Chains A and B, each alone.
Chain A
Amino acid sequence: EVQLVDSGGGLVQPGGSLRLSCAASGFTFSTSLMGWVRQAPGKGLEWVAKINGDGSEKNYVDSVKGRFTISRDNARNSLYLQIDTLKAEDTAVYYCARGWAAAWGQGTLVTVSS
């Protein structure tokens, strides 16, 4: 069974940093495209970043370029999202997703507030 477990969210002050993690199991992680999708409170869904299987190709939505870094550790079956220079508008539930969003984690809440 495919399983994605998100973690690392929390309350952070504006300008702060967080590292989100996603532990994957039940599929061949190293060959799977992975990504992060966020959902602001009461709002819709937004893809923020994706990474190919070997980590050589990364893509970001314009609003997070230069502040977010997606990475993966295929030996640990883990996906990461380093979020720096956090802004209030980054407040959201962050979901890790496999491939074309065939599977989703349970989400981890990031709240940016002073």
Chain B
Amino acid sequence: DVVMTQSPLSLPVTLGQPASISCRSSQSLVHSDGNTYLNWFQQRPGQSPRRLINKVSNRESGVPDRFSGSGSGTDFTLKISRVEAEDVGVYYCMQIIHWPWTFGQGTKVEIK
């Protein structure tokens, strides 16, 4: 199985400051169609997960532009340009190129 490794696992952030989460995969996530199938999810406390970004960098409709995704091959990053109180939760990366689709362990973002 493809192992997805996130860091850090815990991320205390000051309101208004940037945050960055790293995700590394044990195999390349580049498909033969040229796309890279790496998604990012946010799970707020007590809620279902919500997809923020698909295919590395495509923001979902309604997702604030302070969220951005980047990376290639096996190394990916989710950035929050200025953390707001509503961003508290756990963030997961997920690959959908190799079955079983696998998630990272999750990164808990909290306010300092």
Contacts and interface: CB of A to CB of B under 8 A. Distances in A.
Given A100-B54, A100-B96, A101-B41, A46 B48 contact: no
B100 A101 contact: no
Interface residues of B, number: 20
Contact of A100 (B39, B48, B105): B39
Interface string A94-107: 01000011111111
Interface in A49-65: 50, 59, 61-62
Contacts, number: 45
Contacts of B49: 37, 45, 95, 101, 104
Given A104-B49, A106-B48, 10 more contacts: A44-B92, A44-B103, A44-B104, A45-B41, A45-B94, A45-B103, A59-B100, A62-B100, A101-B49, A105-B48
